[in-house]
């Protein structure tokens, strides 16, 4: 996966994007959360379903052009998530990012050393599933 994230970031080839989308289907990503906002009832390593009273505060990153990005890591041991995180399915993460206010440019997927950002249009494209259809 690391090589593929690097290839997407460096070459922006449609084939590599499609391969990454296919690889990420069903995978879990780890989203950095402000540790103070994690509910007291949430135990490390155990599934916790948030309630209407919970208010998790996602941390964000600033992209190279000054844009706000919702970050996710492919590895639980990523330095990005060392202070607290939630694990969520990749598609659910993208759906969440799509619902954020327009101050967010998009999402960031951090591998072990490489990363790639997805703007809102690309997120819609991924969620729409058109990438999985044959190219004419």
pLDDT in tens, 69-90: 999 999 999 999 988 899 999 9
**Phi, psi (5° rounding) for residue 71?**
-90, 150
pLDDT in tens, 1-39: 999 999 999 999 999 999 999 999 999 999 999 988 988
**89, 127 contact by CB (below 8 A):** no
Give the domain ranges of the chain. Answer: 2-39+54-128
The SS3 call for residue 15 is helix
DSSP H helices, 61-119, are 90-99
In 3D, which of 108, 81, 82 has the Cα closest to residue 94? 108
HSE-CB at 25 with a 13 A cutoff on CA atoms is 12
pTM across the whole model: 0.88
């Amino acid at each position: 996966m690391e090589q593929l994230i690097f290839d997407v970031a460096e070459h922006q080839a449609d084939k590599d994007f499609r391969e990454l989308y296919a690889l990420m289907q069903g995978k879990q990503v780890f989203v950095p959360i402000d540790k103070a906002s994690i509910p007291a009832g949430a135990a490390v390593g155990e599934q916790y379903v948030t309630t209407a009273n919970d208010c998790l505060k996602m941390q964000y990153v600033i992209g190279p052009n000054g844009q706000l990005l919702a970050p996710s890591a492919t590895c639980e041991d990523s330095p990005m998530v060392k202070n607290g995180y939630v694990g969520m399915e990749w598609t659910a993460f993208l759906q969440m990012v799509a619902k954020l206010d327009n101050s967010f440019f998009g999402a960031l997927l951090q591998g072990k050393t490489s990363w790639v950002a997805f703007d809102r249009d690309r997120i819609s494209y991924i969620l729409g599933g058109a990438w999985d259809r044959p190219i004419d």
